[in-house]
Structure 1
Amino acid sequence: MRLLGVALLFGLLTVLTQIGGVVYLVARWLSRKAKITGLAARLAIFVTLYVSATAATPFLAPAFGRIALSCFERGSLQVQSPLYCILNRNYLTPVAKRAAEALSVAMEQKHPGTVTLVLDANFPFLGGFPLLPHLSHNDGRKLDVAFYYRDEAGGVLNRVTRSPIGYFAFEEPVADAVLPCRGRTDLLTLRWDMGFLQGLFPAWTLDEVRTGAALRWLASEGQEFGVERIFIEPHLSQRLGVSGQNLGFQGCRAARHDDHIHFQVRE
């Protein structure tokens, strides 16, 4: 049972952070060598090692072709929550990072004061390593961009999202919207509606002007920065009046994309 618990914890930490499982095994080994049995002391060893490993990772990741999005910079491009950096989910190829920065600059120029928030990117090491629950964030070329919002009075909001982590606050389709997944009841699917959460989020509205501008930039000027594919729910691209050859639909088994914009760049 103890071995099973170790394996489960190793797996969970690896899935969540990529490096956490290895750090856990090292911390466990050090605790045993030092004959430390107290839970608080062993936890302190793990936290110390994990923080150290996370701090060192930005210096090691470039060897794997990836660089970190900073959680400390306060420019026009920011990571939505420190959680993404703590979990090492903030790594991109240089091309993807330049595209994200160019998007944020374009948005700030068109709508002064606008900060573009990003969500999940990729892990720092090993191509093909899955970033769950995403199906494709495994090579450094993918990034999720948060929507822009307005408050109940219609005022522009900045540096905030309806959801604490930017995900799962879905924009519901309007009448006569394009709904390719209507009537589907797949058993094996990541297309969760999260209905039990929706009432917990603020009653802010989608800023169609800024969100549409970001989507339009990715579908047009973004190609100059390597953007080759964009995922968003068809009902939203229809609502925002944006189309393009690189604008697509992720499919009915993948997670919903009416809470964020996903883009990927060329290799």
Structure 2
Amino acid sequence: MRIALHALLILALTLLTQLGGIAWLLALRFRHRLLTFGLAYAILWSLALLIAPVMGRTPLPCFGEPLRMQSPAYCVLMRNYVSPELAAVARDAATQMTVTHPGTVTLALDGGFPFLDGMPLLPHLSHSDGKKLDFAFYYQGDGGYLPGQTRSPIGYWAFELGDETTCRPVWLTGRWNLRWLQSVWPDRTLEPNRTAALTRLFLADARVSKVFLEPPLATQLGLVGSKLRFQGCRGARHDDHIHIQL
């Protein structure tokens, strides 16, 4: 039973962070496992920063402006790695947003792991090659635009469309409605001008091949284009974030 529990923990840490399972496996050889795990993970995390760029992945910034990860947790979990070309797309778009909409802070969400094409970044169906990246929506309150703030603490699952409008219920789907969560989020509304402007930058960028956004929301924002796609009824909803890919 103990071996099975350790195996499950190694699997969970690997799926969540890619290298966390290795850190726990190393920690099993020592008496103070949690302390050893933390130290091993910190070493592997630091090595990833150094080695991943050599192997074609670069980390997006955890702090700063005009572009950063929505939460430091994405960096701690090593889910902020993308290809250099995609990192350039993100930086260029964030910089342009500060030109057209001064004071804008653009927040990235899940990108990819530092190593190995083909390893899934759960719960996503893609994000396995460093060529996909999600962005948080921009939000506003009573006083206007709220720089660097989202409705949910992770940037996901704060849906804009309410009840299901695009797909009929199907089995084995990642299209979660999470209605019970919606009332928990702060009372902030989508900032449509910035959200539409960022999406248009991606649609106009020749390096970007597809942009996923829920069709009714795209219509509300006045967005059109051949790159604008619907991810399908088994994929996660995209009325809480923007997905782009090279």
Give the TM-score normalised by the residue count of structure 1: 0.90
SS of the equivalent of 2:145 reads coil
SS of the equivalent of 2:144 reads coil
- List per-residue Cα deviations over 1:53-107 (Å, max 9, x = no partner): 11221111123210111213x1210111000000000001000000000110111
- Aligned twin of 1:122: 112
- Aligned twin of 2:56: 65
- List per-residue Cα deviations over 1:15-62 (Å, max 9, x = no partner): 000000011101112x1xxxx2xxxx2201101110121122111112
Within the alignment, does 1:241 sit opposite 2:226 as a pair?
A: no
SS of the equivalent of 2:93 reads helix
Within the alignment, does 1:180 sit opposite 2:150 as a pair?
A: no
- Aligned twin of 2:160: 171
1:41-80 aligned at under 5 Å gives the runs 41-72=32-63, 74-80=64-70
SS of the equivalent of 2:91 reads helix
Contact 1:64-1:126 at 8 Å conserved across structures: no
SS of the equivalent of 2:242 reads strand
- Aligned twin of 1:213: 197
Structure 1 consecutive aligned stretches of length 4 or more whose deviation exceeds 3 Å: none
Amino acid at match of 2:193: V
1:246-257 aligned at under 5 Å gives the runs 246-257=227-238
SS of the equivalent of 1:227 reads coil
Distance in structure 1 (CA, Å) of the matches to 2:123 and 2:9: 18
- Aligned twin of 2:150: 161
1:128-143 aligned at under 5 Å gives the runs 128-143=118-133
Give how far 1:180 is off.
3.1
Distance in structure 1 (CA, Å) of the matches to 2:191 and 2:143: 9
Structure 2: any 5+ residue segments left out of the alignment? none
Give how far 1:173 is off.
5.7
Amino acid at match of 2:39: T
SS of the equivalent of 1:186 reads coil
Amino acid at match of 2:154: I
Give how far 1:155 is off.
1.2
The root-mean-square deviation of aligned C-alpha atoms, in Å, is 1.3
Structure 1 range deviating more: 62-71 or 249-258 = 62-71
Work out which of the two has the higher radius of gyration on C-alpha atoms and give 1 or 2.
Answer: 1
Structure 1: any 5+ residue segments left out of the alignment? none
Q: What is the number of residues matched between the two proteins?
A: 246
Give how far 1:138 is off.
0.2
1:89-108 aligned at under 5 Å gives the runs 89-108=79-98
Contact 2:52-2:58 at 8 Å conserved across structures: yes
- Aligned twin of 2:5: 5
Distance in structure 2 (CA, Å) of the matches to 1:95 and 1:6: 38
- Aligned twin of 2:239: 258
SS of the equivalent of 1:109 reads helix
1:182-197 aligned at under 5 Å gives the runs 184-197=168-181
Contact 2:109-2:136 at 8 Å conserved across structures: yes
Amino acid at match of 1:165: I
Give how far 1:187 is off.
1.8
Alignment partner of 1:199 out of 173, 180, 183: 183
Amino acid at match of 1:209: N
Alignment partner of 1:229 out of 210, 220, 241: 210
Amino acid at match of 1:110: T
